[in-house]
Amino acid sequence: MTELLSAVLIGGPPHMGKSVLSYTLHRALRRRGVPHYLYRACPDGEGDWFHEGREDVVRAIRVKGQWSSIYADNISRDLRQRLLPLLVDVGGKPGPRDEPIFRACSHAIILTNTAEAAQEWRGLVAQYDLRLVADLRSDLRGQSVIEATEPVIRGTITGLERHLPVGSELIDLLVERLAALLSSCSEAELRALHLRRAPAGQVLELDRLCPVSETGEPGRWQPEYLPELLAHLAGLPTASGYALYGIAPNWVYGAVAAATWPAALVQFDVRLGWVTSPALRLSPTTDSGGNTEELRWRLRTASDASVLEVQGNLSYLDYRHIGGFLPAVPTDRGLICSGLLPLWLWTALARAYQDVPWLAFYQPTLSQAIVVAARASQHRIGECIPFTPTPSPKG
């Protein structure tokens, strides 16, 4: 299957707007229903929240990681065993550390601003036998211009700045080319393949359970949808295990994980395939913070809740090696969890902290914490709680 799934590297020197272009193409392809995943193959601590969240929130929680050979090996392994077509946003200074990542890709879009940089990146494309989709010059000002469309798209693209609208005939042409390239397998074929491999009995396709927007575009989860989702779950036949599939925010995954406890839970991860929500170890502690090989955490009190802020201690948080412990928290108050974490760790948190009166997960794009479980009356599931995360330490 992997050889049928394209992986399009988007590369160029630093500060060319690669991440903005990657996100713009990703959103446009999602609106068209093109199955793919935007893989950020650089330890910058960015996700969709980086482009959708408020500027002050982004500055507070963004953490830049460090390159290492282990990091590059893990990334290239994920790319080689890809389960969806990929857009691959790579770092800005190519070197020997990038070689496994380049070799794992199939195509490339390059974004440069000088003749020297363009020559360097064209050389990399040739060296790693990548098929060039677009060779673009990046400029903050002026108008985007298409210079050629076949066999390679060439031109100048402008205005690639975060939080500013990006749209032009050149963007539309790129989206058309990528849509054709990434659709070697249809969305239905990929979904059917993934779901056939689900190890649990009751499959929950979270993207299809989300209400469709008024414009007819794929639904976008809102906190007020949670009660209806959990009512749907309550109406299903009792299952010994559940399998979660589809695009949804951390608080949707957390709400389902809490509601289906103690049944077995697996979830589809686009990097790993089907994984079991890991069981976390909780240990009593009087400390306000802790540090293991994989995770670091801070525990504090805010109003009527405890606040647990968790971060990966490594640029690549490896599911296979997750260990250490997290703190047991007071069970006479609610708990807000915050951090930039993979979805499999969010579901693990939802199940580990079952004994608190209510549980909420912070969502950067909403700048609020959403209640995902409630055993007491102080808050209701789906309620949004004002919350400001502690600024992350900058390395």
**pLDDT one-digit tens code per residue, 254-266:** 999 999 999 999 9
Kindly state the average pLDDT of the residues 292-300: 86
Kindly state the average pLDDT of the residues 209-222: 74
Kindly state the average pLDDT of the residues 73-82: 86
> Does residue 167 carry a pLDDT above 80?
no
What does the pLDDT read at residue 57?
42
Class of domain 2-187: alpha beta
> Does residue 211 carry a pLDDT above 60?
yes
Torsion angle, alpha carbons of 79, 85, 89, 94, to 10: 50
Q: Please tell me the distance from the alpha carbon of residue 245 to that of residue 239, in angstroms, as a whole number.
A: 16
What does the pLDDT read at residue 70?
65
SS3 156: strand
Q: Percent of the chain having pLDDT more than 70?
A: 85
Banded pLDDT at 356 (limits 50, 70, 90): very high
> Does residue 166 carry a pLDDT above 60?
yes
Task: Look up tokens 């209400």; give the residue.
Answer: 211
Sign of CA dihedral 102, 105, 108, 113: negative
Q: Indicate where the chain has its CATH 3.40.50.300 domain(s).
A: 2-187
What does the pLDDT read at residue 60?
41
- Do 322 and 294 touch, CB atoms closer than 8 A? yes
Q: Please tell me the distance from the alpha carbon of residue 160 to that of residue 51, in angstroms, as a whole number.
A: 12
> Does residue 53 carry a pLDDT above 50?
no
Q: Please tell me the distance from the alpha carbon of residue 344 to that of residue 217, in angstroms, as a whole number.
A: 27
One-letter amino acid at 104 equals A
What does the pLDDT read at residue 43?
53
- Do 390 and 230 touch, CB atoms closer than 8 A? no
13-38 confidence digits (pLDDT tens):
988 889 889 999 999 998 888 989 99
Q: Please tell me the distance from the alpha carbon of residue 333 to that of residue 356, in angstroms, as a whole number.
A: 6
5-19 confidence digits (pLDDT tens):
999 999 999 888 898
- Do 337 and 308 touch, CB atoms closer than 8 A? yes
> Does residue 181 carry a pLDDT above 80?
yes
What does the pLDDT read at residue 140?
79
- Residue 247 has phi, psi (to 5 degrees) of -80, 125
- Burial level of 333, CB count in 10 A (0-12/13-18/19+)? middle
Average pLDDT over the chain reads 85
Banded pLDDT at 252 (limits 50, 70, 90): very high
Beta-ladder partners of 262: none
